[in-house]
Amino acid sequence: MEQAKALNALEPFLALCKSATSPRAAADLITRATSAPNTYIFAELLQQSQIQALSQHPEFASHLTLLQIFSYGTYQSYHDTPNLPPLSDPQTLKLRQLSLLTLVRDRSNLSYGPLQKALGLTSSRQLEELVITAIYAGLLHATLDPARQAVQVNSVAPLRDLPPGSIQDMIAALSNWSDQCTSTLGDLDAQIRNIRAAAAIREKEKRAAEQRTKSLISEPRDLDKKKDLPERDVLSRRGYNKRSMVDPTNVTGDETMDVDESATVEEQKQRSSKRKM
């Protein structure tokens, strides 16, 4: 949203650029564009041929440098560059706001002291007012922490142009990062394969150990069974012999019992006949 708003604010100056046929008109257009509210992105204006032609005119080349600083430089780089046009109050505020967007991207540089120095401010009050204007302009989402003398930044609007050559640097950085990721993933895959192989070996050894343990546990039982078999055979043979020795006696006893019973019956019959007489 902030980018669209900034591009819409720049559109009138892009249209006027076609009629800026003289170096002075092009330089004046730069001053007006950098002073206007809501203009924070200047890459398209910087690419216009009328603006680039200022580099061929020593009197107005400094205006081209000024536009480059507004596009991707900082308030500190403005003061480090000699012979630049003086800034109006709106230009000074805008360049400080844009510089703040660049500075707060370094999360280790959010204390009041370094920010004041980089932005050319003399007090914490001035810094807090600048941060508040940037927040209300939608340039960043942040909170002030006066007790800790620091700015807590949540997000920064993408309203800074890329300096020349930065795209190639970004491509190189991303390519290097991609190579590192590929190498790291390859190392991880190798480690995973080694871990799986070691786990398979441990599982195989565990199963072999369990099998050996089962074999050792079952061996005594087999030996006991083998020992019991001869004893059971002996006992069975002994029992058979005893029964063989006892059986004839049992037969004789049965016959004796039959004779005794017959004698008793005869005696009872004789007694019964005597009583009748």
pLDDT tens by residue, 9-40 = 999 999 999 899 899 999 999 999 999 989 99
Of the listed ranges 119-123, 198-202, 254-258, the least confidently predicted one is 254-258
pLDDT of residue 22: 94
Q: Using alpha carbons, select from 138, 100, 134, 102 the residue that is nearest to residue 4.
A: 138
pLDDT of residue 259: 47
pTM of the shown model: 0.64
DSSP letter assigned to residue 54: G
In the block, which residue shows the tokens 């009050």? 125
Residue 63 contacts residue 54 (beta carbons within 8 Å): yes
pLDDT of residue 255: 47
Q: Using alpha carbons, select from 114, 110, 113 the residue that is nearest to residue 142.
A: 110
pLDDT of residue 232: 54
| Structure confidence at residue 252 as a pLDDT band (50, 70, 90) | very low
As a whole number of angstroms, the distance between CA 179 and CA 183 comes to 6
Which amino acid, residue 68? Q
| Structure confidence at residue 183 as a pLDDT band (50, 70, 90) | confident
**Tokens representing 46?**
């910087």
* CA separation, residue 194 to residues 181, 183, 189 (Å): 20, 17, 9
pLDDT of residue 1: 75
Strand partners, 140: 156
pLDDT of residue 166: 63
Of residues 177 and 8, the one with the higher pLDDT is 8
For the beta carbon of residue 167, count every other beta carbon within 10 angstroms.
10
Residue 90 contacts residue 35 (beta carbons within 8 Å): yes
- Sign of the dihedral through C-alpha 75, 77, 80, 86: negative
Residue 65 contacts residue 81 (beta carbons within 8 Å): yes
| Structure confidence at residue 75 as a pLDDT band (50, 70, 90) | very high
pLDDT of residue 186: 86
Taking each continuous run of H as one helix and of E as one strand, the counts in the chain are 10, 2
For the beta carbon of residue 200, count every other beta carbon within 10 angstroms.
10
Q: What is the mean pLDDT of the chain?
A: 83
pLDDT of residue 4: 87
- Sorted by where each begins, the domain ranges of the chain are 1-156, 165-221
**Tokens representing 149?**
């003398």
Residue 74 contacts residue 118 (beta carbons within 8 Å): yes
pLDDT at 98 over 50: yes
181 CB-side CA count, 13 A: 6
pLDDT of residue 69: 97
Which amino acid, residue 52? Q
Give Cα 156 distance to the centre of its chain: 24
Average pLDDT over residues 67-90: 95
The DSSP code sequence of 107-166 is TT--BHHHHHHHHT--SHHHHHHHHHHHHHTTSEEEEEETTTTEEEEEEE----PPPTTH
| Structure confidence at residue 215 as a pLDDT band (50, 70, 90) | confident
Residue 37 contacts residue 1 (beta carbons within 8 Å): no
Average pLDDT over residues 49-76: 95
pLDDT at 159 over 80: yes
Percentage above 90 pLDDT, the chain:
52
pLDDT at 262 over 60: no
For the beta carbon of residue 7, count every other beta carbon within 10 angstroms.
16
Percentage above 70 pLDDT, the chain:
75
pLDDT at 234 over 80: no
Of residues 133 and 268, the one with the higher pLDDT is 133
In the block, which residue shows the tokens 């007006």? 32
